[in-house]
Amino acid sequence: MKIRLGVIFGGRSVEHEVSIITAIQAINKIDLIKYEVVPIYISKEGIWYTGRMLLDIDLYSDMDLLKRYAKEVVLVNRDGRFLIQNKKGLFKRVLTEIDMALPIMHGTNGEDGTLQGYLETVGIPYAESNVYASAVGQDKVFMKQIFKENNVNVVKYRWFFDTEYMNDPDKVIRDLEKLDYPMIVKPATLGSSVGIKVVHDELSLKEAITEAIKYDCKILVEEVIKNLKEVNISVLGNYEHQELSVIEEVGTTHELLTYEDKYIGGKKGSKLNSKGMASAKRLIPANISDSLKEDVEKQALKAFRALNSSGVVRIDFLIDTKDNSVYVNEINSIPGSLSFYLWEKTNKNYTELLEDIINLGIVNYKNKKSKTNTFTNNILEGFNGLKGAKGIKK
């Protein structure tokens, strides 16, 4: 019997379109002999839809058409069965049933642990990182704090809340200027280079902060590596076992890798016509020495373990070519294109990668089910400490 796999994508995120690209790429490579795919699309308004038409990427250029023909649904647990049923109507008709979920969402409200928390509450098995690893992996400040505690190298940084800057901008600027220019300003919980700017002086720093505050209440500012080479590596596994992909070297004509570099690849037209992260300019394998390769791999495994990540992740590195220092920039718990292009160069095709991701989700679910989550005793039995509770209806 096939496993019914709910692939969840879209979401209330600035990376909404990127999620669609990654999801359609993945669905087209899932082994349909083993799996029955149920596409579950979450709109920018947070409404869930299903229907076979969601597999046509051209549909997403006409949202009115999508909303007219796709079914608006909810996911419910009914006696241990995970049902996709109509949201509207007097009778909530069951449309289909799924056995597990594969979240393919980037950024806030999906990759950040929000969706994972909902799936945990429903009780359905799911692939990729759990709530904790996802949440920390999305917040670049939390991430760096945990990395430092686990001896993972990160660049010098400062962070602040938007209200601190609004109340006393001069104080925030004085603290930030303890770092050396140029700096890079980032919204703490976004990805795909959205809202990120490199600054060279106080004026551009203030402009970048104003821009970043549009996207997030928490802002991260880092020193820029001046002799920079950017490399990425993917890690596949869980806390018990990990595999490393080949290392890629990512190129850009800008001061930083932009949204366009990552997802549009310089081509004109709709973002949905791109190949996702596979559009970015890259050199595989990266042109680095064996010692640097070993350092990147060592730091990648330490970062993966520090966050207790699972499934497939991509870890982005910054290398100072002057002294060969290696720094972890960030971890992507649901990377663009699921980093399939790195695994294809590591003798694992996309279908095999997806099989491993799904199997890891099943293993993690079984491991969790083997742990004690509840107790049979009731500490409230005979408890008389609730004063005034006599008026509560029985």
Phi–psi pair at 279, nearest 5 degrees: -80, -20
CATH of the domain at 66: 3.40.50.20
Give a yes or no: residue 285 inside a domain: yes
Q: Which of 206, 223, 240 is the last residue of a domain?
A: 223
Give a yes or no: residue 330 inside a domain: yes
Which of 23-37, 252-266, 336-350 comes out lowest in average pLDDT? 252-266
CATH of the domain at 245: 3.30.470.20
Q: Tokens for 45? A: 């308004």
Q: Which of 207, 223, 239 is the last residue of a domain?
A: 223
Query: Do 41 and 118 belong together in one domain?
Result: yes
CATH of the domain at 174: 3.30.1490.20
**Residue 266 has what pLDDT?**
43
Query: Do 288 and 147 belong together in one domain?
Result: yes
Give a yes or no: residue 260 inside a domain: yes
CA distances from 116 to 37, 102, 260, 290 (A): 19, 10, 28, 38
Give per-residue pLDDT as tens, 138-185: 999 999 999 999 999 999 999 999 999 999 999 999 999 999 999 999
Query: Do 98 and 50 belong together in one domain?
Result: yes
Give a yes or no: residue 104 inside a domain: yes
Query: Do 118 and 196 belong together in one domain?
Result: no
Mean pLDDT of the chain: 90
CA distances from 79 to 30, 69, 82, 83, 314 (A): 28, 30, 8, 10, 37
Query: Do 143 and 278 belong together in one domain?
Result: yes
Q: What pTM was computed for the model?
A: 0.89
CA distances from 372 to 10, 152, 172, 310 (A): 34, 32, 46, 21
Query: Do 205 and 270 belong together in one domain?
Result: no
Q: What gap in Å lies between CA 9 and CA 30, rounded to an integer?
A: 15
pLDDT band, very low/low/confident/very high, at 372 (cuts 50, 70, 90): confident
Query: Do 255 and 360 belong together in one domain?
Result: yes
Give a yes or no: residue 370 inside a domain: no
Beta-carbon count within 10 A of 314 CB: 23
CA distances from 73 to 36, 116, 325 (A): 18, 18, 50
Q: Determine the residue type at 285.
A: P
Query: Do 141 and 241 belong together in one domain?
Result: yes
Phi–psi pair at 150, nearest 5 degrees: -105, 20
Residue 316: domain span: 137-152+226-364
Q: Decide if pLDDT at 300 tops 90.
A: yes
Query: Do 144 and 271 belong together in one domain?
Result: yes
Query: Do 202 and 305 belong together in one domain?
Result: no
Give a yes or no: residue 113 inside a domain: yes
Paired with 86 in beta bridges are: 73
Query: Do 45 and 194 belong together in one domain?
Result: no
Number of domains present in the structure of the chain: 3
Query: Do 255 and 310 belong together in one domain?
Result: yes
Nearest to 51 by CA among 71, 36, 35, 66: 71
Give a yes or no: residue 283 inside a domain: yes
pLDDT band, very low/low/confident/very high, at 251 (cuts 50, 70, 90): confident
Give a yes or no: residue 206 inside a domain: yes
Q: Decide if pLDDT at 268 tops 80.
A: no
